[in-house]
Structure 1
């Protein structure tokens, strides 16, 4: 979709909110709301918001893991996989 079509004035949002919300959720792309000719807000659909929050949480967990490894508190992947192999072998 053309990025310029994802920009609307707040007056258009006021006049036809239902239609704009329907398009927002259908397109699943951010919508820039302008006020007095300047960007004032960004609107996203619920699905896009939930995806963004999930991705943010994953990034936070990865950063936490990096900090733990730097402090010597974490486990490297090879160690974890080796322990998993041992546990799986015991179950067989």
Structure 2
């Protein structure tokens, strides 16, 4: 996902209502989210669906890594050679 450009990517709800199709095209083309404000406060984010899916995949990966680290800290890990053997058995 591209970095947010404050001067281009924060829009009031009233402006988004009028030109929603343009904002959908903008997030798709730029891969940057649009922050939607109401009464001067951020209330929502408009995000390209592919960028959203990429974020979800990264979140799942980070969650899995954290779970694995927690298991290792609790003594639930296995030796490298044992893991390698299990993987090779599955592949063959």
Q: TM-score, normalised by structure 2?
A: 0.78
Which residue of structure 2 lines up, in the alignment, with residue 10 of structure 1?
13
- Please give the alpha-carbon distance, in whole angstroms, between the structure 2 residues aligned to 1:66 and 1:46: 30
Q: TM-score, normalised by structure 1?
A: 0.78
Quick one: higher RCO (CA 8 Å, sep 6+), 1 or 2? 2
Question: Pairwise CA RMSD of aligned residues?
Answer: 2.2
Gaps of 5+ in 1: none
Q: Following superposition, which runs of at least 4 residues in structure 1 exceed 4 angstroms of deviation? A: none
* SS at structure 1 position matched to 2:78: coil
- CA shift, 1:3, in A, is 2.3
Gaps of 5+ in 2: none
- Please give the alpha-carbon distance, in whole angstroms, between the structure 2 residues aligned to 1:68 and 1:7: 41
